[in-house]
Structure 1
Amino acid sequence: MTINCKEQLIDLSTPKVMGILNVTPNSFFDGGKYKNESEILSRVEKMLLDGATFIDLGAYSSKPSAEFVSEEEEISRIVPAIDLILKNFSETIISIDTFRAEVAKASIESGAAIINDIAAGNLDEKMFDIIAKYNVPYIMMHMRGNPQTMQTLTNYDDIVKEMVFYFSERIAKARSFGINDLIIDPGFGFAKTLEQNYEVFQKMELFSMLELPFLVGISRKSMISKDLNINTENALNGTTVLNTLALTKGAKILRVHDVKEAMECVTLFNKINP
Structure 2
Amino acid sequence: MSGRASSPVPGPLGPWQYIQNGLYYFHVAIATIIIGLFGIVLVIAKGRRGANDVASSWIGYMLWAARLHMGVTCEVRGTPPTDDCIIAAKHQCFLDILTIAHAVPRRAFIMKREVMRVPIMGWYAYKVGCIPIDRTRGRDAMKSIASQINRRVADDGLGQLIIYPEGTRTKPGERKSYKHGVQTIRNATGLPIIPVAVNTGLFWPRKGWGIRPGRAVIEFLPAMPSDIPNDQFLSRLEDEIETNSDRLMAEAGFRNEMAV
Q: TM-score, structure 1 length as denominator?
A: 0.31
Of structures 1 and 2, the larger Rg is shown by 2
Q: Which has the higher helix share?
A: 2
Q: TM-score, structure 2 length as denominator?
A: 0.32
